[in-house]
Amino acid sequence: MRTLLQPLRTTVSHFSPRPLWLHSRAADDLFVSNEVLAILDAVSPVEPALDRISPFISHDVVESVLQEQRDRARCFRFLLWAMRDRRFRVWDSHRLVVNMLAEEEGGFDVYWRVLEEVKSCGLRIVSDAFLVLISAYWKMGMAEKAVDAFGRMRNFDCEPNVYTYNKTMHVIVQKQIILLALAIYNKMAKSDCLPNGATYTILIDGFCKTGEIKDALKMFDEMTLRGISPNERTYTVVVAGLCQAKSTDHAYKLFESMRERGYRPDSVTYNVLLDGFCKAGKIDEALLVLPTFKKEGYALGLKGYSSLLNGLFKAGRYNEVDVWYRMMVKEEVIPDVTLYAILIRGLCKAGRMEDAMSMLKEMTQRGLIPNSYCYNAIVKGFCDMGLLDKARSLQLEISQRDSVHDACTYTILICGMCRNGLVGEAREIFDEMEKHGCLPSVVTFNALMDGLCKAGELKEAHRLFHKMEIGRNPSIFLRLSQGSKRVLDSESLKEMVAQLCESGLILKAYQLLIRLADSGAVPNIETYNTLINGLCKTGNIDPALNLFKELKIKGLSADSVTYATLIDGLQRAEREEDAFRFFDLMERVGCPPSSSVYKCLITWSCRRRKLPLAFSLWIKYLNNLPGQDDRTLKVAEDHFEKGEVAQAVRHLLQLEMSLKDFDLAPYNIFLIGMCQAHRIGEALKIFLLLKENRLDITYTSCLTLLPALCKEGNLDASVEVFLYMLERGFHVKFRHCNQLLRSLLLSHDRRQWAYGLIDKMESLGLKFHLYESTESLLYKHSNTHNREQVTPG
């Protein structure tokens, strides 16, 4: 060792008179550290002297110097020198330097000054120098500064490496600005820097967080095609994204694939999947896989219990909630604020307001401070029960005590007021909200606009819409920032961000997108749908169409609800051709018509007595569903063409009842349509088919069929429909009741059934009013007929 250190001793002899008596590695490192510190204190520039003793410097020496050097400028200069030599494994010192920058006042300014000095000396600066800087800014919550640091790398002739790219994309993804992260990834792909597994995991996470699961899966596929194997973290991110998209079956398959490939899920993965099942309403599946998870070493902790209790509440399985909660307490799992919020919200939703208040009290006794979610759940519970005074009192109490005005609380109250027709009171709360400086969200605007539309106050709704647009609208910001009159749509915005990144103006792209993200209550597609619906319901179809044209200009895409609303509005305005034009447009723009769109068209086709068109539309919808039996559909279509409606409906019911998401609505629409077309016999056959299969027949269907059967004189069927309505608890209108009773009393062989029906209604405690003509018939035949409760079997 002495022989090896001799050149070093010669080099630095004039800096330190220490004798060479050191023999251990630790002692050698200590000696070299002292010599390095001496160089940093005495030499400027330090690089040549450090280069000469470089063979004797280890990573431990680097870390020791970073900790001991008090002059931060010299410390950072030494760090920049060490970063150029990969053998020092400076990454291990990453956290140390990040803490220096983040915790010491003025640390960032010193670091930038040292970077400028090193640059002016013509020395090379490696990308790790900026990686440390970006990480420190992010730790301090200064995302914009982190992005700025990445963008300034080009000013120092420094090319980002994969770690710098990844850290910057991580910062941007955490701010949920996936558009910029993708632009930086494209910039990375065009350079000589190859993405690694972490790169793809970060981007996949970004797509999942913004709900773009299809893009996340594409990125996952691209990753495997490039020969990069996903790790446990990647699988967990994708599983979480699929669960968030309610695609739990796909998520579980991926989970099993993960295990088959030798990757071991951790508690995060198990919790994500369990939570996914519960949120998707698949509580039985969650309880089914739980024993398997436990066998694999998973312990049901606080997060697991929170997911299960939340799922059980949503499924209305309140007894099981109590069982699992007791089990949790027995296992000494201590509830946190989040779990209490779940319990309080679930109890409120079940109408158990006293229990919810007790839970709030228990929470405070444990020393936990209820958050806004807990209070908002109780406020919403009162609103849902129509106890608006209590809800309002609690909101005032909270705001006076905590001096906090929560936008969500105000929004809940506004929704409750509007739902109960108290639009004036809702408007007062909205005005109060603004006075307290509490910015309304898009949900707040949408709730109040919906209430105004339903109250027929369209002018006020329009005024609120324009206020929403003008207030903090990104369209106006884009006009001002770009110096033009044009409003950018989503594609133009994407292109602009890509161009800014290509030009190295990363910070400008970030600031543009963050301004858009923070632009407050900006009209979204739900806002437009609310206003379009209000206009359509009042017959103002042309203004509604104008709003539809604005959507693309504002960078929004019409959804299935938009099209369904417009199609219904056009049908109401007797513009049938335009309605079908919008129906065709949906498919062309890649927005497949939902069942609600088809049902709307079927309803109007039935009203116009175009039954073949209505039936063919539903056949078309079923044909578009995956895994359908084409042969059965063809048989049903053939039966309908032959006029065998009952047979056609029977085949469709057999086919659809096997589907998970069986939709009964079209069959009730067909039943009503048959009545409207005076095809009462076929309507009755549909009724009997639905009843035979124990399927729900709607109140409207029964109310349409009953008088039609009476008018045709089919008293047996009339009584059967009437009894069905009584059994289901439907309210039978007085005129229909009197119509049936008079028809029965005028019939010689069915007269006694009238008395039976009256006794039936009286036994059920139903109130009914007999017209004078009906009473006179009852009186006329009361002496000649016994009031026996005789009804058809």
Residue 35 confidence (pLDDT) above 80: no
Confidence of residue 294 (pLDDT cuts 50, 70, 90): confident
Distance, in Å, from the CA atom of 682 to the CA atom of 703, rounded to the nearest integer, reads 16
Beta-carbon contacts of residue 719 (< 8 Å; ≥ 6 apart): 740, 744, 750, 753, 757, 791, 792
Q: Which domain holds residue 592?
A: 587-781
Reduced to 3 states, what is the DSSP secondary structure of residue 212? Answer: coil
pLDDT, tens digit, for every residue of 659-682?
Answer: 666 778 888 888 999 898 888 998
Distance, in Å, from the CA atom of 500 to the CA atom of 180, rounded to the nearest integer, reads 10
Longest dimension (CA), the chain: 136
Distance, in Å, from the CA atom of 138 to the CA atom of 222, rounded to the nearest integer, reads 28
**How long is the chain?**
793
Mean pLDDT to the nearest integer, 343-372: 87
List, as one string, the DSSP characters of 563-610: HHHHHHHHHHTT-HHHHHHHHHHHHHTT----HHHHHHHHHHHHHTT-
Reduced to 3 states, what is the DSSP secondary structure of residue 704? Answer: helix
| Single-letter amino acid code for the residue at 495 | E
Residue 524 confidence (pLDDT) above 80: no
Q: What are phi and psi of 696, to 5 degrees?
A: -70, 130
| Average pLDDT for the chain | 80
Residue 128 · residue 110 · CB < 8 Å: no
pLDDT of residue 647: 84
Q: Which of 126, 148, 176 is the last residue of a domain?
A: 126
Phi/psi-derived region of residue 229, left when phi > 0, alpha when psi is between -120 and 50, beta in every other case: beta
Confidence of residue 6 (pLDDT cuts 50, 70, 90): very low
Residue 706 · residue 725 · CB < 8 Å: yes
Q: How far is CA 139 from CA 80, 95, 142, 146, 513, in A?
A: 21, 10, 7, 10, 21
Buried b (16+ CB within 10 A) or exposed e, 717-732: bbbbbbebbbeeebeb
Of the listed ranges 381-385, 522-526, 663-667, 682-686, the one predicted with least confidence = 522-526
Confidence of residue 12 (pLDDT cuts 50, 70, 90): very low
Residue 172 · residue 510 · CB < 8 Å: yes
Decide if 754 is inside a domain: yes
Mean pLDDT to the nearest integer, 86-101: 70
740 closest CA partner among 724, 726, 752, 722: 722
% pLDDT > 70, the chain = 84
* Helices then strands, each counted (H, E), the chain: 45, 0
| Single-letter amino acid code for the residue at 65 | V
Residue 520 · residue 439 · CB < 8 Å: yes
681 closest CA partner among 650, 653, 643: 643
Distance, in Å, from the CA atom of 368 to the CA atom of 343, rounded to the nearest integer, reads 14
Q: How far is CA 286 from CA 289, 305, 307, 382, 495, in A?
A: 5, 12, 10, 31, 43
Of the listed ranges 7-11, 167-171, 283-287, 677-681, the one predicted with least confidence = 7-11
**Residue 41 is inside which H or E element, if any?**
helix 25-42
pLDDT, tens digit, for every residue of 611-639?
Answer: 888 888 888 888 877 766 678 888 888 88
Q: Which of 72, 91, 126 is the last residue of a domain?
A: 126
Distance, in Å, from the CA atom of 213 to the CA atom of 215, rounded to the nearest integer, reads 5
Residue 447 · residue 418 · CB < 8 Å: yes
Q: At what angle do helices 772-781 and 751-763 cross, to 10 degrees?
A: 110
Write down the pTM of the prediction. 0.67
125 closest CA partner among 95, 154, 165: 154
Distance, in Å, from the CA atom of 83 to the CA atom of 89, rounded to the nearest integer, reads 8
Q: Which of 126, 152, 185 is the last residue of a domain?
A: 126
CATH number at residue 608: 1.25.40
Question: In 121-212, where does DSSP find H-type helix?
Answer: 128-139, 143-151, 162-174, 178-190, 197-209
Q: What are phi and psi of 558, to 5 degrees?
A: -65, 140
Decide if 512 is inside a domain: no
Q: How far is CA 464 from CA 536, 663, 738, in A?
A: 18, 37, 49
Residue 726 · residue 766 · CB < 8 Å: yes
pLDDT, tens digit, for every residue of 704-752?
Answer: 998 898 888 888 888 898 888 888 888 778 888 888 888 887 877 777 7
Decide if 75 is inside a domain: yes
Decide if 723 is inside a domain: yes
Mean pLDDT to the nearest integer, 25-39: 69
9: buried, middle or exposed (CB in 10 Å: 19+, 13-18, 0-12)? Answer: middle
348: buried, middle or exposed (CB in 10 Å: 19+, 13-18, 0-12)? Answer: buried
Residue 199 · residue 162 · CB < 8 Å: yes
Residue 168 confidence (pLDDT) above 90: yes
| Peptide bond just before 160 cis, omega within 30 deg | no
Residue 311 · residue 281 · CB < 8 Å: yes
Of the listed ranges 66-75, 173-182, 231-240, 245-254, the one predicted with least confidence = 66-75
Is 280 or 22 the better-scoring residue by pLDDT? 280
Residue 684 · residue 705 · CB < 8 Å: yes
Residue 741 · residue 750 · CB < 8 Å: no
Decide if 13 is inside a domain: yes
Decide if 345 is inside a domain: no
Of the listed ranges 37-51, 429-443, 501-515, 723-737, the one predicted with least confidence = 37-51
**Residue 753 is inside which H or E element, if any?**
helix 751-763
509 closest CA partner among 174, 154, 180: 180
Decide if 362 is inside a domain: no
Quote the radius of gyration of the chain (alpha carbons, Å).
Answer: 36
Decide if 56 is inside a domain: yes
pLDDT of residue 482: 53
* Beta strands, E only, 270-428: none
Reduced to 3 states, what is the DSSP secondary structure of residue 758? Answer: helix
Beta-carbon contacts of residue 607 (< 8 Å; ≥ 6 apart): 673, 676
Q: Look at the chain and report how many structural domains it folds into.
A: 2
Q: To 5 degrees, how large is the angle CA 487–CA 492–CA 495?
A: 145
Residue 78 · residue 50 · CB < 8 Å: yes
Phi/psi-derived region of residue 698, left when phi > 0, alpha when psi is between -120 and 50, beta in every other case: beta
Distance, in Å, from the CA atom of 383 to the CA atom of 268, rounded to the nearest integer, reads 36
% pLDDT > 90, the chain = 9
Q: How far is CA 2 from CA 9, 21, 27, in A?
A: 9, 8, 12
Distance, in Å, from the CA atom of 73 to the CA atom of 731, rounded to the nearest integer, reads 85
Tokens at 588, concatenated: 């062309």
CB atoms within 10 A of CB 406: 20
409 closest CA partner among 379, 374, 384: 379
pLDDT of residue 18: 42
pLDDT, tens digit, for every residue of 453-482?
Answer: 888 888 888 888 877 766 555 555 555 455
Tokens at 335, concatenated: 């509830």
Q: At what angle do helices 143-151 and 506-517 cross, to 10 degrees?
A: 150
149 closest CA partner among 166, 135, 130, 165: 130
Phi/psi-derived region of residue 396, left when phi > 0, alpha when psi is between -120 and 50, beta in every other case: alpha
Query: Residue by residue, what is the 3-state secondary structure of 241-286?
Result: HHHHCCCHHHHHHHHHHHHHCCCCCCHHHHHHHHHHHHHCCCHHHH
